[in-house]
Amino acid sequence: MIARRKNRVVNPPEHCPLGQCLSIIGGAWTPNIIWYLSSQSRRFSELKDDLQGISPKVLTQRLRKLENEGIVNRKVMPTSPPTVEYSLSELGKELKPAIEAIVAVGEKLKKIKTAEAILGA
Amino acid sequence: MIARRKNRVVNPPEHCPLGQCLSIIGGAWTPNIIWYLSSQSRRFSELKDDLQGISPKVLTQRLRKLENEGIVNRKVMPTSPPTVEYSLSELGKELKPAIEAIVAVGEKLKKIKTAEAILGA
DNA sequence: CTGTATCCTTGGCGATACTG
DNA sequence: CAGTATCGCCAAGGATACAG
């Protein structure tokens, strides 16, 4: 069930093919979180550093959501001070091709725009 | 330049690899619009029908934005009543692999969750 | 270090009515 | 048919402070 609130449809082009997956990777930071986790597991503050500018509140929110969806694993190390390792679950790794495709297109668009700027100006 | 508002960072994990592309396909309806345009060109009301539930205001907004970004082409036919054809530009077609990857992952996740529901319950 | 708690702003989107 | 115009909601996210 995709997010509904009262009778207000929040998100859902449910009948369209993309809704489900996008509700996972659709946040402002989420895809980048997945991206950084895809190459290696990271600790909370490492992610916070990777995603410079994210507030701890939001990072926690995103990670909790991803954890609940079974996309990331959270592993608390019994150290002091505590360290927590986040990593992509097997399910989470399914998202990699999509993320990679987005990244690839992003790079391509950037190149095209740069070329246009040079040629056009 | 990715959307900033005053000193408030709205969207931008700019330094991360995904920001640029996601700002294009990141809306609630946008990826589906691109999806429907990817197989064939569509008229305004056809899209409105495909994306059942979208308001004309939002559809116009999205299409205008995509047009400005050079993702879609808008072609007004000199008929009465007017008909307008939207299609993906060459640039827009670059987005297809990303959208397709998202769709593919979406389907896969659905299957996995379905299987889990059957096995687990 | 890894988070919670609070408060606030904002832009995306819905609903509806109207126009050329 | 293909849009504009208005109004208003609200959840995502920012800033900051605090806690185990």
Per residue in B88-116, pLDDT (tens digit) is 999 999 999 999 999 899 888 889 889 99
Q: What span, in angstroms and rounded, lies between the C-alpha atoms of A21 and A19?
A: 6
Element (H, E) at A86: strand A83-88
Residue A53 lies in a domain: yes
Give the chain A residue whose CA is nearest to the CA of B21. Answer: A106
Has residue B8 been placed in a domain? no
Nearest to A102 among B35, B50, B98 (CB): B98
Residue B81 in tokens: 């009543």
Q: Is residue A73 in some structural domain?
A: yes
Q: Print the domain residue range for B36.
A: 17-120
Total domains, chain B:
1
Does any domain span residue A66? yes
**Is position A10 within any domain?**
no
The CATH code of the domain that includes B72 is: 1.10.10.10
C strand bases under 7 Å from protein CB = 1-6, 9-17, 20
How confident is the model at residue A12, as a pLDDT?
A: 52
The confidence score (pLDDT) of residue B113 equals 86
Domain for residue A2, yes or no? no
The pLDDT value recorded for residue B22 is 83
- In this complex, the nucleotide whose C1' atom is nearest to the CA atom of residue A58 is D13
Work out the average pLDDT over B59-81.
94
Residue B46 within any structural domain of the chain: yes
pTM for the model: 0.86
Residue stretches of chain A with pLDDT short of 70: 1-14, 19
